[in-house]
Homo-oligomer: A and B are copies of this chain.
Amino acid sequence: MINQALVIAAIALIYTSNGFYRALQASLGFAIIGYVATDYIIPRCINLFIAKGFTGKDLSKKGKPIIPETMGVIPAVIYLFLMFWFIPFLFYKYLVTGTNGGGNRLNGVEELKDLSVELFPHEKLASYLSAFLTLESTIILGIADDLLDIKWRHKFFIPAIAAIPMLIVYYVDFGVTHVLIPTKLLQSYFGQSLIQLGPLYYGYMGAVAIFAPNSINILAGVNGLETSQSVVIGSLLLLNDCVYFFSSPHDSPAIESHLFSAALLIPYLGVSLALTKYNWYPSRVFVGDTFCYFSGMVFAVVGILGHFSKTLLVFLIPQIFNFIYSVPQLAGIVPCPRHRMPRFNEEDGLMYPSMASFEEKPLGSTPSLILRVLSKLKLVYIIEKDGKIIQVNNLTLINLTLVWFGPLREDKLCATIITMQAFIGLVALSLRHMLGFWLFGYDNLFKAASITV
């Protein structure tokens, strides 16, 4: 009953959408449909996925129950097909322009063609379509990863391959590869306000497209964490869009970029919230690498095509920290066990930081010194024996959270991490808009947003 009512409300929202924020109203309708569809389909696919053997073990529960795996592909595919239906609504104002006044579209090939060349924003449509080619490629490669256990050094580049259609369309279609130089001082030093980056800019966009999906895929392994961190990041990006809606004139180019961003994010949040419901502690489904890549790529697409990829990176600070924090283990300076997930204690049902042990291979003096300093700074937890470090917590943000606040039940652990994420994001958002004002000056801020900030 509630679902039917929601769908009716969604259809009403879509069909009555009007005025400047038409795209946003319609996207809210699509978000509701996405939520209801995901919520409807996921529980009905659980047995099918288990029967077909797409399963994983939940190691942090008593008895290590079998949970269906890769279920995040369902909201991802629902999202894509919703976004196809969204096309006529997103490009509505241009469609209406091409009528003969009576509400009918123009007949006759020649007339329609001439008008459409002038009025229809094909360059925006191509961007939009290239975004979805990239997202579909992400899903296909994510499925391959989930099903075929691709090696780590290969899977790291999956998002780069998936980003190719977007970058190529960007190249033939838009081709803007300069960035704004911050502060008047530096601008006068360079004698210009823009730096032409050329091919380097494609390298940078590729790096963003590699980093965002992988960073979400790495901060994972706790019930609900993949989905809830994605919802938090998506919400922060949407909040950032709203800042522009409330502070910029409606015809500024920044508004168009952020309308595009919000229109993609709102339905994304719809399907992701429904998935979170099933992925939250105790998880009834696992989401799979596919969903992590997909989420990260939604953010990368929005950041790159909306020209605010640096703002995106600000919202990924916990993920960036997690990555840098992991480097000593990934680089082999500190031993790296096969799994670095926190340790589940069956007796009290709580999670404890998991430890890397090196009793047999003692650390050199420099790494030991660094670990001792980090330990003083409360950034690692070390266990010593006879004056030597024999264990250190595995270097992930999840374990560090447990060092700070643990032991915690799994859902508290997840909630703590995403609260940090939300808090850091909100502080960064405030700083970014205050500093942006200071760095670029008020006028430039909004002009710049259409280029790249």
**At the interface, yes or no: A424 with Cβ under 8 Å from chain B?**
no
A127, chain B: closest CB distance, angstroms: 10
**At the interface, yes or no: A132 with Cβ under 8 Å from chain B?**
yes
CA distance A136 to B80 in the complex (A): 11
Query: Of all chain B residues, which has the CB nearest A113?
Result: B123
Given A122-B122, A123-B117, A123-B120: A172 in contact with B91 (beta carbons within 8 A):
yes
Among candidates B81, B133, B161, B168, residue contacting A161 with C-beta atoms closer than 8 Å: B81
Indicate if the CB atoms of B136 and A95 lie closer than 8 Å.
Answer: no
- Stretch from A7-15, A140-148, A338-346, A385-393 contacting the other chain: A140-148
CA distance A84 to B171 in the complex (A): 12
Interface size on A, residues (CB 8 A): 49
Among candidates B125, B137, B144, B175, residue contacting A169 with C-beta atoms closer than 8 Å: B125
CA distance A95 to B149 in the complex (A): 40
A54 contact set on B, CB distance < 8 A: 147
Indicate if the CB atoms of A164 and B84 lie closer than 8 Å.
Answer: yes
Indicate if the CB atoms of B123 and A84 lie closer than 8 Å.
Answer: no
A192, chain B: closest CB distance, angstroms: 11
CA distance A109 to B169 in the complex (A): 16
A88 contact set on B, CB distance < 8 A: 168, 171-172
**At the interface, yes or no: A195 with Cβ under 8 Å from chain B?**
no
A140 contact set on B, CB distance < 8 A: 77, 136, 139-140, 143
CA distance A323 to B237 in the complex (A): 51
**At the interface, yes or no: A62 with Cβ under 8 Å from chain B?**
no
CA distance A144 to B132 in the complex (A): 19
**At the interface, yes or no: A126 with Cβ under 8 Å from chain B?**
yes
* B-contact bits for A218-262, CB 8 A (1 contact / 0 none): 000000000000000000000000000000000000000000000
Indicate if the CB atoms of B175 and A105 lie closer than 8 Å.
Answer: yes
Among candidates B81, B117, B122, residue contacting A125 with C-beta atoms closer than 8 Å: B122
Indicate if the CB atoms of A173 and B120 lie closer than 8 Å.
Answer: yes
CA distance A143 to B145 in the complex (A): 13
A87 contact set on B, CB distance < 8 A: 165, 168-169, 172
**At the interface, yes or no: A373 with Cβ under 8 Å from chain B?**
no
- Which of A53, A140, A196 neighbours the largest number of chain B CB atoms within 10 Å of its CB? A140
A16, chain B: closest CB distance, angstroms: 20
* B-contact bits for A287-306, CB 8 A (1 contact / 0 none): 00000000000000000000
Indicate if the CB atoms of A168 and B85 lie closer than 8 Å.
Answer: yes
Interface hits, A169-196 → B, CB 8 Å: 169, 171-173, 175-176, 196
A297, chain B: closest CB distance, angstroms: 14
A196 contact set on B, CB distance < 8 A: 107
CA distance A148 to B87 in the complex (A): 30
Indicate if the CB atoms of B451 and A109 lie closer than 8 Å.
Answer: yes
Among candidates B173, B176, B451, residue contacting A122 with C-beta atoms closer than 8 Å: B173
Indicate if the CB atoms of A168 and B137 lie closer than 8 Å.
Answer: no
* B-contact bits for A95-113, CB 8 A (1 contact / 0 none): 1000000000101010010
A95 contact set on B, CB distance < 8 A: 172
Among candidates B123, B129, B172, B173, residue contacting A133 with C-beta atoms closer than 8 Å: B129
**At the interface, yes or no: A55 with Cβ under 8 Å from chain B?**
no
CA distance A169 to B126 in the complex (A): 10
**At the interface, yes or no: A52 with Cβ under 8 Å from chain B?**
yes
Query: Of all chain B residues, which has the CB nearest A168?
Result: B87
A120 contact set on B, CB distance < 8 A: 123, 172-173
**At the interface, yes or no: A416 with Cβ under 8 Å from chain B?**
no
Indicate if the CB atoms of B148 and A48 lie closer than 8 Å.
Answer: yes
Indicate if the CB atoms of B173 and A125 lie closer than 8 Å.
Answer: yes
* B-contact bits for A72-96, CB 8 A (1 contact / 0 none): 0000010011001101100100010
List 11 A–B pairs whose Cβ atoms lie within 8 Å, in order of A's numbering.
A77-B140, A77-B144, A84-B165, A87-B165, A88-B168, A116-B173, A120-B172, A122-B123, A122-B173, A125-B126, A125-B169
Given contacts A84-B164, A120-B172, A125-B169, 20 further A-B contacts (CB under 8 A): A53-B53, A77-B144, A80-B137, A81-B137, A81-B161, A81-B164, A84-B133, A84-B168, A88-B168, A88-B171, A105-B175, A109-B176, A117-B123, A120-B123, A120-B173, A122-B125, A126-B129, A129-B165, A132-B165, A136-B136
The 3 closest A-B pairs by CB, nearest first: A122-B122, A129-B129, A136-B136
